[in-house]
Amino acid sequence: MTDLREDPYPDVHIGGGFSDPAGTPTAGPGSGRRGPGRRGGRILSAAVVATGLALVCHSFVPDAPGNLGSLLETALPWTGLTVPVLLLAALLRRSVPAVIAALLLGAVWSALFASVFLGGRGDAEPNMTVVTHNVNAANPDPGATARTLLAADPDLVALEEITDDALPAYRKVLDRRLTHSVRIGTVALWSRYPITESRRVTIDPGWSRSLRALVRGPKGPLAVYVVHLPSVRVGVSGFATARRDDALTALVRVLDHEQQKKVLLLGDLNGTTTDRRLAPLTSRLTPVKDKAGTGFGFSWPAAFPLARIDHILTRGILPTDAWTLPATGSDHRPIAAGLRA
């Protein structure tokens, strides 16, 4: 006989929970508890959304305090590294929303930077090769550096951070093949073509670090600027760019009065073209790397390049190719471009 006082269903408890044989309660379908997988998926999705907002809305990030917006834009290409990391984490979590969000983030990043890889040279063939390099004032072997640059068979070579002591070593190598040259302050230009005039361009009152030369190119004259903008620093106060930005403003004023149709600017700009502070310059001249379709071409620091702060920009000249040369005794990598001038 069954004792009516005994529970006939000892493993069932009203209230939606279940017990294991040892009597430990476990969550049932209606318990309303959320497992760690679901919470992790939401955290991942939030991280993807935050990264996507930084990509799409970086121009709305204020510069104050510490030029944070400018610093974010300087490092903007590196946000692409978050895509495979977040996608892998989403797959491990088996979170469909996080996977979709990571794929959408990849699409956004590709839309922003595809032109760097997909720019086309079309059927144009270069008729001129140019090289620019911040050789570093403390370069231990200027002669070897010059030979590395000549290996690209350039028609123009622009150098920054030239010192009086190192100049003879550069001349000894470069003068043999590039017979026309001009040096003003810490910048210099060697050319296969005649340099018909040259002058200092004052962009930083305390330092002679830029020049303009008129070169008789393969298809007519072109104005060539060799420029070294002041350095920037990242410290406790933020991204210090004031001196560079002042020099950039002065350079843009000079370019606004340039009468030549063909303009070529080579040098160390101490900034990336994604940085909003360089927009006044990139709205007037086109960065070669954006049209050549050869990738970011990071140039600094030489041991492990993180940013392209050395640039070749043009107006009225068709870029056909761009690449980075092997490391030298400098803390920068040299960069080169093929042009149809």
Query: For the segment 125-142, what is each residue's pLDDT rounded down to a tens digit?
Result: 999 999 999 999 999 999
Maximum C-alpha span of the chain: 118
The sign one gets for the Cα dihedral 232, 233, 239, 242 is negative
Task: Read off the amino acid at residue 296.
Answer: F
Confidence of residue 292 (pLDDT cuts 50, 70, 90): low
The sign one gets for the Cα dihedral 255, 260, 261, 267 is negative
pLDDT at res. 19: 45
Q: Work out the number of other CB atoms within 10 angstroms of the CB of residue 252.
A: 16
| pTM exceeds 0.95, yes or no | no
H-helix or E-strand containing 181? strand 180-184
pLDDT at res. 1: 47
3-state DSSP of 98-132: HHHHHHHHHHHHHHHHHHHHHCCCCCCCCCEEEEE
Confidence of residue 309 (pLDDT cuts 50, 70, 90): very high
More confident residue, 186 or 63: 186
The pLDDT of 293-309, averaged and rounded, is 88
Residue 30 has pLDDT above 50, yes or no: no
Confidence of residue 118 (pLDDT cuts 50, 70, 90): confident
The pLDDT of 290-303, averaged and rounded, is 79
Structural domain boundaries in the chain? 36-118, 128-340
Q: Average pLDDT, whole number, for the chain? A: 86
Instruction: Please name the residue ranges forming H helices in 8-141.
Output: 36-56, 68-74, 82-93, 96-118
More confident residue, 115 or 266: 266
The CATH code of domain 128-340 reads 3.60.10.10
CA–CA separation, 248 vs 204, rounded Å? 9
CA distances in angstroms from 284 to 55, 111, 263, listed in the order given: 24, 23, 10
The pLDDT tens digits of the residues spanning 160-183 come to 999 999 999 999 999 999 999 999
H-helix or E-strand containing 196? strand 195-200
